[in-house]
Amino acid sequence: MVRNILGSILALAGATAAVWSPFRAWYDGRHGSTYRIDDLFSGVSATKAQVAGSILLPFAFAALVTLVGLVLRSRILVAVAGLITLGFAILWMVRQGQVTGGLSVDSSGNGLGQGVAMALGGGLALLLAAGLMSGRRAAEPEPRPRSDVPTPDTPYEAPYAAPYEPRHALPPDEQPPYEPPDSPPRA
């Protein structure tokens, strides 16, 4: 239970970071919410997008998948949300690197910004949360009786032998009395 609670908190933090990341600077001060989702598949352009058509959309979808995964206590859904977040952030980095000839980070604020770090960190947090969660436990099935062991009401069949038959013919009450051995036991 503790693992599910810690995993849920980590998953919510990762989903929050992923959704918040497009509103931070991604590259050279340009916010992620200005990149069109089409730019991820056709190449980054200078055309600015509306918020609803920006790369916020896949991150919001990943956050929705995270919430559904937490409600259902599904590790797989939380992991899928992490993969969606990481996948779109890495795809953006590849497309941006193709346009600029490489990605850079420097102390003056040029290059990769905090938004990319938040998206990558959010995706990693979602994957860690999926690994931390214990998920839902399956109900224990009722034990079934073994069919290969005879029960008192079933007849003996192969490979089992017939019930034990005494080697002597006398009933127990007509047996000769016990006679002690002639010599003491050996040490």
Count of H helices and E strands in the chain?
5, 2
Residues of the chain below pLDDT 70: 107, 109, 137-139, 145-172, 175-178, 187
User: What residue type is 146 in one-letter code?
Assistant: R
pLDDT at 42: 83
Residue pair 142/95 in contact by the 8 Å Cβ criterion? no
Rounded-to-integer distance, Cα 8 and Cα 121, Å: 16
159 prior amide bond cis, ω within 30:
yes
- What is the model's pLDDT at position 174? 73
Structure tokens given for 44: 């980054």
The 10s digit of each residue's pLDDT in 152-179 is 665 555 555 555 555 566 666 776 666 7
Q: Is 129 exposed, middle or buried (0-12, 13-18, 19+ CB in 10 A)?
A: buried
Measured CA to CA, the distance from residue 82 to residue 68 in angstroms comes to 13
Round to the nearest angstrom and report the end-to-end CA distance of the chain.
60
| 3-class state of residue 112 by DSSP | strand
Bridge-based pairing state of the strands 25-27 and 30-31: antiparallel
Cα 165 to Cα 168: distance, rounded to the nearest angstrom: 9
| pLDDT in the model for residue 125 | 97
Q: How far apart, in whole angstroms, are the C-alpha atoms of residue 85 and residue 83?
A: 5
3 state SS of 49: coil
Nearest to 81 by CA among 68, 92, 66: 66
Query: What pLDDT sits at residue 160?
Result: 55
Amino acid at the residue 26: W
